[in-house]
Amino acid sequence: MNYTFKWDGQPFGKEDIVIGIIFREPWQRPTLHLELMIKGAHVRVTRTLPADNPDNAGVTYFVEPVNGNWPYKMTD
């Protein structure tokens, strides 16, 4: 399946920016709140589209950078 990754602009009122598209087997699909490395950036999956994260369809994953100051993260 093809999985699209985008920077999540929703919390900041900005547009979502496409990071990239990867092909992986259904058992390798990311899950909500999973932390992973994308292009050298430590990110967390914040939401998926469709929301139920099906294993038989292309899914868009929205990610945000992991902030070491959690829960005192800076908002824009």
Lowest mean pLDDT among 7-16, 26-35, 38-47: 7-16
Q: Residue 73: inside a domain, yes or no? A: no
- Summarize the confidence of residues 20-43 as an average pLDDT: 88
Is the residue at 75 inside a domain?
Answer: no
> Looking at residues 43-65, what average pLDDT do you find?
90
- Host domain of residue 10: 2-33+40-65
The answer as to whether 26 is a domain residue is yes
* Residue matched to tokens 């092909």: 23
pLDDT value for 5: 93
Query: How sure is the predictor about 32, in pLDDT bands with cuts at 50, 70 and 90?
Result: very high
Identify the CA nearest to 3 among candidates 66, 27, 12: 27
Neighbours of 59 (CB within 10 A): 20
State how many domains the chain has. Answer: 1
